Structure 1
Amino acid sequence: MFEGKKIIVTGVSSGIGQETAKQLKAQGATVIGVDRNPPSVDLDAFHQVDLMDEAALDALIEELKAVKADGLANIAGVPPTAPVETVVTVNLVALKRLTLGLVDSLADGASIVNLASLAGIGWEGEVAKIKAAEGLDHAGVPAFCAAQEITADTSYFYTKQALVAWTHENRWTWRDRGIRMNAVSPGPVDTPILKDFLETLGERAEEDMKIMDRPGTPTDIAPVVVFLLSDGSVWLRGVNIATDGGMRAHIDATSNGLN
C-alpha cells in the first residue's frame, strides 16, 4: 500500500509512534523517524532531536525538506506530568512549527496526521485561548502560559483541544495541492506514560477506566493513523477520529440524556 512512499513519523521510539512505524514499514513505506531517544525498530532514517530546542527543530526542518515526504505523522508528545511549558511547547508549538515548516516541501497529495486525544473534547469552549496561540514560538511560551492562565491541571487538555481545533481549521488549507490534515484522538492507552496520565487526571481517569473494558494499546491506535496516511483516506479532511473504545460516544450520549 505504501510502496514508493516516504513517511515522517515523530515520537518514533516508543508507544504509538513506534507501532505506526512498524506497520508502515510492513506495508512498504520508507520511514523517516524523529525522536529525542534512539529507536529500537528498523527505520530507513532517523533524526535524534529534542523538540524543546528551537534551533535544533529548525535545523531538522531544513534536513527534512529534502525528503519531499508523502506523509507526516505528528505523534511525539509529553504527558501532563511534564512541566507546563514543556507540554505546551512539545505538544503544540513545536508540532505546528514542524508541520508548517515542512508543508511546502511535502509531495502533492500528502497526508498530515496529528495525534490528539480524548482530552481535546470541549475545544469549542476554548476558542479565544486557542486563537491566542497563533504564531506562538518557543521563546514566547512562558509569557503565554502566564497570560492565559495555563496550569499543570489544564496544560495537556489545552494543547489537545488546540490541536483538534487546528486540524479542523486546516481542513482545506492546502486543498489545491491535495494535501490533507486529519487527527486521531485516543482514549487512555497502555503505553509507558499511562501512569502519568492516571496520576494527573485522578478521579476522572479512575472513573473512565471503570467504564472502559480495557485501556487501548498502540496496536489499537496505529492502524487508524496508518489509514489516514494512506490513499484510502483522501476524502477525509479536517476529521478527528475518536479511537477510544467508545468513550467519546459515552460522553456524548450521557451528556445529552440518551442513557
Structure 2
Amino acid sequence: MLKNKIIVVTGASSGIGEETARQAKNAGARVIAVDINPPKIDVDHFLQVDLGSKDSLDALLAALPSNIDGLANIAGLPPTKSVESVMKVNLVGLKYLTLGLIPKLSDGASIVNLASLAGLGWADSLAEIKASESLDFDNVNAFCDRHQIKGARSYFFSKEAVIAWTIQNRWTWRERGIRINSVSPGPVQTPIFQDFIDTLGVRAAEDMLTMDRPGRVEDIAPVVVFLLSDAAGWIRGSNIPVDGGMYSHILAGKSGL
C-alpha cells in the first residue's frame, strides 16, 4: 500500500505513533521516525526533535529529505502536562512542521493529523480557533490567558483547532495533489491513557461503560496508513472518528435518535 513511499511519523517512539510507523513499514514505506525519544521498533531513519521547540523543528526541517510522500502528525501531549507544553506540541508545533514541510513534499503527498474525540466540538470554539491563527511559539501563554484556556482545556482546544485547520486546508495544496485529513480516536490504551482517566475522572469512566472497550493502537494505525496511501486520494479535509461508535452515540443523543 505504501511501497517505496517515504513517510515521516512523529511520536514514533510509543503508542499510536509507534504502531503507525510499524504498519507503514510493513506496508512497504521507508519510515523516518521523529520523536524526542528513540523508537523501539525498526525504522529506516530516526531524527530526535522536541516538537514544542521552534529551534528544534527548524533543525528537523533542515535534516529531512526533499521527496517526502507522507506526514503523519501523531505526536501529542496529554491534558496532564502544562498548558504551554500541550499547546506548543499539539497545535503550534504540528502546524509549524507541516507548513515547513510543504516545499519538501512530493506531488500527491498525504498529510494525516491525529486529532481526538475531545476535539469534535470544534464548531463551538470558532472565535478562539480563528484567533489562534496568529499563534506562535512566543505568544502561547498570552493567548491562553486571553481566551481562558486553562488546565485540561488546552488539550481539548488543541484538538479542536487541529480539526478545524484540517478542514480549512482541504484544497490549499490541491494543485500539487497534496491532501490533508485527520483521524479522531476515542479513548485508546496507550502510555498516556491513564493521564486522560486522571484528568477526566467520572466522565471518562462513564464513557468506558458506554463503549464496549477502550481502543487499541491497532484500531487507529490502519486508518492513518490508509489515509497516507494513494487509495485515499479523493478524501480531502475529512476528520474520521475511530472511536467504537462514541461520536455517533453523542450525535444520536443530541438529535434524539
Same fold (TM over 0.5): yes
Letter matched to residue 246 of structure 1: G
Contact 1:6 1:67 in 2 (8 A): no
How far did 1:67 drift?
A: 3.8
Aligned to 1:226: 225
Aligned to 1:26: 26
Aligned to 1:252: 251
How far did 1:3 drift?
A: 1.6
Cα distance in 1 between the residues matched to 2:10 and 2:233 = 22
Aligned to 1:14: 14
How far did 1:4 drift?
A: 1.5
Letter matched to residue 6 of structure 2: K
Cα distance in 1 between the residues matched to 2:63 and 2:132 = 26
Q: Which structure 2 residues correspond to residues 127-146 of structure 1 after superposition, within 5 A? A: 127-146=126-145
Q: Any idea what SS the aligned residue of 1:119 has?
A: helix
Q: Which moved more, 1:144-153 or 1:173-182?
A: 144-153
Letter matched to residue 63 of structure 1: A
Letter matched to residue 187 of structure 2: P
Q: Any idea what SS the aligned residue of 2:25 has?
A: helix
Q: CA offsets per residue over residues 61-99 of structure 1, 9 Å max, x none?
A: 1211x2420000000000000001111000000000000
Q: Any idea what SS the aligned residue of 2:31 has?
A: strand
Aligned to 1:102: 101
Q: Any idea what SS the aligned residue of 1:241 has?
A: strand
Contact 1:242 1:248 in 2 (8 A): yes
Q: Which moved more, 1:13-22 or 1:55-64?
A: 55-64
Cα distance in 2 between the residues matched to 1:68 and 1:80 = 35
TM-score (normalizing by structure 2): 0.98
Cα distance in 1 between the residues matched to 2:106 and 2:49 = 23
Contact 2:72 2:113 in 1 (8 A): yes
Aligned to 1:177: 176
Cα distance in 2 between the residues matched to 1:183 and 1:99 = 13
Aligned to 2:42: 42
Cα distance in 1 between the residues matched to 2:251 and 2:86 = 27
Cα distance in 2 between the residues matched to 1:150 and 1:239 = 26
CA RMSD of superposed structures (Å):
0.8
Q: Which structure 2 residues correspond to residues 106-125 of structure 1 after superposition, within 5 A? A: 106-125=105-124
Cα distance in 1 between the residues matched to 2:30 and 2:39 = 15
Cα distance in 1 between the residues matched to 2:105 and 2:240 = 23
Aligned to 1:210: 209
How far did 1:10 drift?
A: 0.1
Q: Any idea what SS the aligned residue of 2:106 has?
A: coil
How far did 1:50 drift?
A: 1.1
Cα distance in 1 between the residues matched to 2:152 and 2:46 = 34
Aligned to 1:165: 164
Gaps of 5+ in 1: none
Cα distance in 1 between the residues matched to 2:236 and 2:3 = 23
Cα distance in 2 between the residues matched to 1:68 and 1:94 = 21
Cα distance in 2 between the residues matched to 1:3 and 1:209 = 37
Gaps of 5+ in 2: none
Q: Which moved more, 1:130-139 or 1:155-164?
A: 130-139
Aligned to 1:195: 194
Contact 2:184 2:241 in 1 (8 A): yes
Aligned to 1:150: 149
**1:4 aligned to 2:7?**
no
Letter matched to residue 118 of structure 2: A
How far did 1:255 drift?
A: 1.1
How far did 1:153 drift?
A: 3.1
How far did 1:104 drift?
A: 1.7
TM-score (normalizing by structure 1): 0.98
Cα distance in 1 between the residues matched to 2:52 and 2:176 = 31
Q: CA offsets per residue over residues 116-137 of structure 1, 9 Å max, x none?
A: 0000111111111011111311
Letter matched to residue 36 of structure 1: I
Q: Which structure 2 residues correspond to residues 234-249 of structure 1 after superposition, within 5 A? A: 234-249=233-248
